[in-house]
Amino acid sequence: ALRARAEVDNIRKRSQAEVASIRRYAVEGFARELLGVRDSLDLARGVDLSTADGDVAEKVVEGLDITLKQLDSLMEKFPIQAVEPEVGEKLDPELHQAVSTVESDELEPNCIHQCIQKGYRLHDRLLRPAMVIVAKPPTAA
């Protein structure tokens, strides 16, 4: 009975250690993939803009486009979807955070007037809500 109890206790401790390790290193794959994007940004940051070559700006923009493609690919691999509300879309408090209001004749009240910052979701979980400006009815003058 004592051996069985000790064995159960050892299994429990090993399981707890494994769960702790899994939690600690759960983002390891994502972090490893993200390092390539970081390297690309470091290379872009190291470009000498004071050179006389007129193609430098074009090369920087091209490098940024490639880096954005790397990041988009990474976000696709780890299902991270952007939350990009359209102008006129109804405010959804589950996905959007209203940071301001603006009077509008063209839009219904509580509809999105402008998206300030995209939001992001991981599977079904919201990582960050989209920051939006919401329309409100005009005040009577």
User: Between residues 51 and 52, which one has the greater pLDDT?
Assistant: 51
In this predicted structure, what is the pLDDT of residue 115?
A: 95
- pLDDT band per the 50, 70, 90 thresholds, residue 86: very high
Question: Is residue 52 predicted with pLDDT exceeding 70?
Answer: no
Q: What is the mean pLDDT of residues 27-53?
A: 80
pTM higher than the cut 0.85 = no
Question: Lowest-pLDDT range, 46-55, 64-73, 105-114?
Answer: 46-55
pLDDT tens figures, 63-84: 889 999 999 998 998 899 999 9
**Looking up tokens 């589950």, which residue turns up?**
94
Rounded Cα–Cα distance for residues 27 and 16 (Å): 19
Neighbours of 135 (CB within 10 A): 23
Question: Is residue 51 predicted with pLDDT exceeding 70?
Answer: no
62 and 85 Cβ atoms separated by less than 8 Å = no
In this predicted structure, what is the pLDDT of residue 28?
A: 81
